[in-house]
């Protein structure tokens, strides 16, 4: 199963590289598939590539759900 995770673009360097944040974790990703993305946008990231721009509220909801999933105890 593949999973794309929402991240907010913090900075854009060299047109095709962006610094993003996933709930406190910063990474550099590629914008080659989404060159219209801007600083402040939320994007879905899969294997290091931004693949779509998402609504900020949708991104927040998804990040909250992912946090809740990581808090689950598999033994419960």
The structure tokens listed for 67 are 């946090």
For residue 6, give Cα distances in angstroms to 3, 54, 63, 64, 73. 10, 8, 7, 11, 23
CA 63, 32, 27 angle in degrees (round to 5)? 40
**C-beta separation of 59 from 6 below 8 A:** yes
A 10 A CB-CB count for 41 gives 20
pLDDT at 20: 98
Rounded Cα distance between 52 and 62, Å, is: 14
pLDDT in tens, 27-58: 999 999 999 999 999 999 999 999 999 999 99
Stated pTM of the model:
0.85
**Spelled out in words, what is the top-level CATH class assigned to the domain 5-71?**
mainly beta
């Amino acid at each position: 199963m593949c999973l794309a995770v929402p991240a907010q673009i913090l900075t854009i360097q060299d047109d095709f590289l962006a610094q993003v944040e996933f709930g406190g974790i910063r990474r550099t990703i590629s914008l080659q598939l989404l060159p219209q993305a801007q600083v402040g946008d939320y994007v879905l990231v899969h294997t290091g590539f931004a693949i779509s721009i998402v609504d900020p509220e949708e991104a927040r909801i998804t990040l909250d759900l992912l946090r809740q999933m990581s808090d689950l105890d598999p033994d419960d």
